[in-house]
Amino acid sequence: MLNLSVILEDSARRYPTKEAFIFGDTRLNYAQINGAANQIAHGLVAAGIQAGDKVALSCLNLPYFPMIYFGILKAGASVVPLSVLLKRNEIAYHLKDADAKAYFCFVGTEQLPMGQEGYAGFQEADNCEHFFMITPKPTDPSPIEGTQTMGMLMANQLPTFTTSPTNAEDTAVIIYTSGTTGQPKGAELTHSSLLLNANLCRDLLGFQQEDISLIVLPLFHIFAMTVLMNAGIYHGITAVLLPRFDASQVLGLMQKEKVTLFAGVPTMYWGLLNFDDSAFDLKSISDRLRVCVSGGASLPVQVLKDFEEKYNVPILEGYGMSEGSPVVTFNHLNQIRKPGSIGTPVWGVEVKLVDENDQEIPIGEKGELLYRGHNVMKGYYQRPEANATTLRGGWMHSGDIATKDEDGYYYIVDRVKDMVIRGGLNVYPREVEEVMMKHEAVSMVAVIGVPHEQHGEEIKACVVLKDGKKVSEEALMAWTKEHIAAYKYPRIIEFMTALPMNATGKILKKELRK
- Domain CATH for 41: 3.40.50.12780
Supply the CATH number for residue 425's domain: 3.30.300.30
Decide: 379 and 391 in contact? Cβ < 8 Å. Answer: yes
CA distances from 326 to 191, 320, 388, 398 (A): 13, 5, 20, 12
User: What one-letter code names the amino acid at 453?
Assistant: E
Q: Is residue 175 part of a domain?
A: no
Task: Answer yes or no: do 235 and 327 share one domain.
Answer: yes
Give the span between the Cα atoms of 404 and 368, in whole angstroms.
11
Task: Answer yes or no: do 34 and 147 share one domain.
Answer: yes
Confidence at residue 503, expressed as pLDDT on a 0 to 100 scale: 41
Give the span between the Cα atoms of 298 and 317, in whole angstroms.
8
Residue 488 is part of which domain span?
Answer: 420-512
Looking at the 3D structure of the chain, how many domains does it have? 3
Q: Is residue 200 part of a domain?
A: yes
DSSP state of 507: B
Task: Answer yes or no: do 227 and 376 share one domain.
Answer: yes
Interval 202-213: pLDDT, tens: 999 999 999 999
Task: Answer yes or no: do 459 and 434 share one domain.
Answer: yes
Q: Is residue 58 part of a domain?
A: yes
Confidence at residue 366, expressed as pLDDT on a 0 to 100 scale: 83
User: Of 374, 397, 414, which marks where a domain is finished?
Assistant: 414
Which residue in 295, 70, 82 sits closest to 176, CA to CA?
82
Confidence at residue 179, expressed as pLDDT on a 0 to 100 scale: 45
Confidence at residue 499, expressed as pLDDT on a 0 to 100 scale: 86
Map residue 39 onto helix, strand or coil: helix
Task: Answer yes or no: do 99 and 51 share one domain.
Answer: yes
Task: Answer yes or no: do 162 and 226 share one domain.
Answer: no
Confidence at residue 303, expressed as pLDDT on a 0 to 100 scale: 80
Decide: 490 and 477 in contact? Cβ < 8 Å. Answer: yes
Burial code (b: 16+ CB inside 10 Å, e: under 16) for 181-204 equals eebbbbbbbbbbbbbbbbbbbbbb
Give the span between the Cα atoms of 279 and 254, in whole angstroms.
13
Decide: 165 and 75 in contact? Cβ < 8 Å. Answer: no
Task: Answer yes or no: do 436 and 409 share one domain.
Answer: no
Give the span between the Cα atoms of 273 and 328, in whole angstroms.
28
Q: Is residue 229 part of a domain?
A: yes
Task: Answer yes or no: do 287 and 371 share one domain.
Answer: yes
Q: What does residue 225 show for φ and ψ, rounded to 5 degrees?
A: -60, -45
User: Of 414, 449, 479, which marks where a domain is finished?
Assistant: 414
User: Of 388, 414, 440, which marks where a domain is finished?
Assistant: 414
Cis-peptide into 326, omega within 30 deg? yes
Q: Is residue 21 part of a domain?
A: no
Task: Answer yes or no: do 243 and 321 share one domain.
Answer: yes
Sign of CA dihedral 140, 483, 84, 396: positive
Q: Is residue 465 part of a domain?
A: yes
Task: Answer yes or no: do 345 and 430 share one domain.
Answer: no
Task: Answer yes or no: do 220 and 327 share one domain.
Answer: yes
Q: Is residue 312 part of a domain?
A: yes
Task: Answer yes or no: do 424 and 395 share one domain.
Answer: no
Weakly modelled stretches of the chain, pLDDT under 50: 179-180, 503-505
DSSP state of 347: T
Q: Is residue 474 part of a domain?
A: yes
